[in-house]
Structure 1
Amino acid sequence: MSEAQFARWVELVRRRTGMQLAPERKSFLVTSLAARMRELGCEDYDAYYALLTEGPRGAVEWALLVDRLTVHETRFFRHRPSFALIRERLLPQAPVPEALQPYRLQVWSIGCATGEEAYSLAIAIDEHLSRLGGRYYFGVTATDISLSALATARRGRYPGKRLDRVSPDQRARYFRRVAPDTWEVVPELRKRVCFAQLNVLDLARAPLAPMDLIFCQNVLIYFDRAQREAVLAEVVRRLAPGGMLVLGPGELVGWRHPELERVHYPDTLAFRRVARAGGGAA
């Protein structure tokens, strides 16, 4: 692949997904393209580029290629401090008064990949609220650009190595073994999570209600700073007053937003949406 071809592909990926492919990732791009081109019997980068940019067939092929360009390797409770933060600083610490029940919580997992993050959020929330007792309702909306990743997430089946940070009690309560090294999320938890395809560049068109918790980790690393700030501006619009935004530590150093205040907790990057003195979001 020539430098001119690489630049052309980088621009296509950036325009359609927002992902920034640095020069040092050229080998990654070449490998990903080559694998798909071999399956199609296509030997020319320019011919494959033309295929991707022509009509309905190109749209279908692009969806398949995106799966090669996005990273899906993850695990349950990948960043433990963020889940401790949610339990200690967002969720109630005492039983909710009967008059305020059912306690309700709406959660959004952005860039959910194959679902481990979304199910981890559901486990952490259900486990905490069930200990407090009383009536409660929560739902997790989980979005990703990859259709194949979302299909895996909806199935809710994972190899044992993905569950290495799941406690024995959590495994017994929220999973069932369906093969020697395969575990399935129980239906009661799966029904709490709704998976949908969404490109983070299209957040302005996302029909989402205000969220009490937005979890966005290992997504912004693919974008330059200007894009990260633009994405977060749309994310904040969908955060309810008092709601919490949890990012990956170090993903956006020095970022500030006039409607957010920093939530300080060890090894985390989180913010809470403040409200005006007269009521409503700031």
Structure 2
Amino acid sequence: MIRITDNEFDKLASYIQANYGIFLKKEKQALVTGRLQAELVQNGFKNFSEYFEYILADTSGSAVTAMINKITTNHTFFMRESEHFDFFQSEVLPFLHSTVRNNDLRIWSAGCSSGEEPYTLAMILDEYFGNEKGTWDTKVLATDISTKVLDTAKSGIYSNDKVGTMPTHFRAKYFRRMDEKSSVIHDKIRNEVIFGKFNLMEERFPFKKKFHVIFCRNVMIYFDEKTKTELVNKFYDFLEPGGYLFIGHSESLNRETTRFSYVKPALYRKK
């Protein structure tokens, strides 16, 4: 195995944090070594210094994309932290239903991973609006920095074990069993989610309109406090007044300094 020196790790970790916000602590050194080992071997690099130079020199972006795909952790599942979805359906949607102008509802799943979160939101939206659905634009924007998980998300194909965490009527209504191992989401729901690659560390967000709801759950646990604060401020600026921010239950905002109003654990609202 090709070992990474402390100096090499520091350089690589600094580059990843500066460009992608991910803070790799020293204890992640072995994990990074293991996950990137195949990249070094396949490309014939003798050490991590050569690999890092290759990352910096590659203008196509394919090298850094491959690296990000390797080092990011993308663990998620349908209905994860289900109380969020319950609140979204019972409290958030009735409010937005009565206040959103031009029936243009804008929801962003930031750090969507393999797609379970935005698809769940799309199913809830379909259930809630019912026969009114055709008069509303309820498409969900779903973004991630990993092209690997985005490819999985776009396919809409999941193992039956994963689908099994969904409520029974959701499974029957929105999934088609392909074989004994996997199921696919109906096109009706797949077409309601717009997937795209996006780096949350972009200095300026490119969106023309503000969102009514942003889900960014279990993403900021990988950021340091400064990066997290800067991102939360950008989320605030890109939410409509009264808009909601959902974060992971292992995450929190500093209530003394944030502009957001606290609603309940892992849920905040723009004043």
Q: How does 1:91-102 map to 2 (within 5 A)?
A: 91-92=93-94
CA distance in 2, matches of 1:102, 1:141: 18
Q: Deviations over 1:204-254 (max 9, x none)?
A: 232242111100101101101111010011111110112111111231243
CA distance in 1 between counterparts of 2:9 and 2:114 reads 29
- Report the counterpart of residue 224 of structure 1 in structure 2: 224
State the secondary structure of the residue aligned to 1:49.
Answer: helix
Partner Cα distance (2:88, 2:32) in 1? 36
RMSD of aligned residue pairs (Cα, Å): 2.4
* Aligned residue runs from structure 1 range 102-117, under 5 A: 103-117=103-117
Gap runs ≥5 in structure 2: none
How many residues are matched?
A: 268
- With 141-150 and 123-132 compared, the bigger mean Cα shift is at 123-132
State how 1:89-238 maps to structure 2 within 5 Å.
89-92=91-94, 103-130=103-130, 135-202=135-202, 204-238=204-238
CA contact (8 A) 1:160 1:181 kept: yes
SS of 1:113's equivalent in the other structure is coil
TM-score (norm 1): 0.87
CA gap 1:113/1:208 in 2 versus in 1, 3 angstroms: farther
In 2, Cα distance between the equivalents of 1:133 and 1:40?
50
Give, as a single letter, the amino acid of the residue that structure 2 aligns with 1:126: D
Structure 1, unaligned runs of 5 or more: 275-282
Q: 1:273 to 1:90 in 2, by over 3 A?
A: same
Q: Tell me the residue number matched to 1:16.
A: 19
Letter in 2 for 1:34: Q
The answer to whether 1:272 aligns with 2:262 is no
Kindly state the Cα deviation for residue 157 of structure 1 after the two structures are TM-superposed.
0.7
Q: Out of 79, 84, 89, which is 1:82 matched to?
A: 84
Deviation digits for residues 79-105 of structure 1, max 9, x if unmatched?
A: 1111111112201189869xx997442
Q: Identity, % of aligned pairs?
A: 25
Deviates more, 1:198-207 or 1:101-110: 101-110
Letter in 2 for 1:143: T
1:280 alignment partner in structure 2: none
1:66 is aligned to: 68
Q: Is the 8 A contact 1:244 1:272 kept in 2?
A: yes
From 50, 53, 74, the equivalent of 2:53 is: 50
Amino acid at match of 2:223: F
Confirm whether residue 29 of structure 1 aligns to residue 26 of structure 2.
Answer: no
1: CA distance, partners of 2:69 / 2:266: 28
Q: CA–CA distance in 1 between the matches of 2:191 and 2:177?
A: 18
Measure, in 1, the Cα distance between the counterparts of 2:137 and 2:52: 47
Work out the CA distance in 2 between the residues paired with 1:193 and 1:153: 10
